[in-house]
Amino acid sequence: MVGVVGSAGSGADEASMPSAAPGGVRPESLEESGAVGVADDLRRLWVPHRMVYVSDHHQPGEHDCPFCAAPERADSEALIVARGEHAYVLLNLFPYNSGHMLVCPYRHISNYDEATEAETSEIAALTQTAMRVARSTLQCDGFNLGMNQGAIAGAGVASHLHQHVVPRWASDANFFPIIAKTKAMPQLLGEVRELFAEAWPRP
């Protein structure tokens, strides 16, 4: 159980958005198909001034880690957009916004400073490509990029490093999702994965 303490703030600069998808396909059904993501009740990214209390929050080990298991599955099942040599890109099953990608090393490491030079270099390159692909396909106006390091910092799966790439649009920030805890996801996850995978440049 993850709780958020503090006021909602203006919300104007937040990448907060819950996980519901429209059109009758719920994230749960995709999860059953093998897709993975970062589930938490935080709903917000990069608000370090807020205290987050975490209890009974299981952090997976290598043997039950969704980000270790995803590359073993088919791309379409695991919502994988692209695979590199040391890291890969998948859609977040619990997106804060449309096109929310996660860039993960294959290795089960928690912190960015544990990553090798090859891993950090490829995470950086994949992040850049993810931005270009999202910009060209979804015409987004900006991005939130970042890593939550540790459960206390808001990481849903703190035990396996992942970089968030969250597309933003000028019109996506409003009070409704903060108050109502719901937001229409304009495109289904599977469709977005296909769109991104097709637009991803071939080496």
User: How many residues sit close enough to Zn ion to count as binding (CB under 5 A)?
Assistant: 5
Q: Is 162 among the catalytic positions?
A: yes
Q: How far is the CB of 111 from Zn ion (least distance, A)?
A: 13
Tokens matching residue 27: 């994230």
- Is 160 a binder of Zn ion (CB under 5 A)? yes
Give the list of residues 6+ apart from residue 117 with CB closer than 8 angstroms, or none: none
Tokens matching residue 184: 């229409």
Write the binding mask 90 to 119 for Zn ion: x where contact by CB under 5 A, - elsewhere: ------------------x-----------
Binding piece for Zn ion, criterion CB under 5 A, among 38-46, 64-72, 127-135, 137-145: 64-72
Of the candidate residues 54, 68, 130, 161, the single one contacting Zn ion (CB under 5 A): 68
Is 163 in a helix, a strand, or coil?
strand
- Is 162 a binder of Zn ion (CB under 5 A)? no
What does DSSP assign to residue 201? P
- Is 67 a binder of Zn ion (CB under 5 A)? yes
Half-sphere exposure of 104 (CA within 13 A, CB side): 30
Please identify which of the residues 100, 160, 162, 164 carries the catalytic annotation. 162
Q: Which residues bind Zn ion (CB under 5 A)?
A: 65, 67-68, 108, 160
Which residues are catalytically annotated? 162
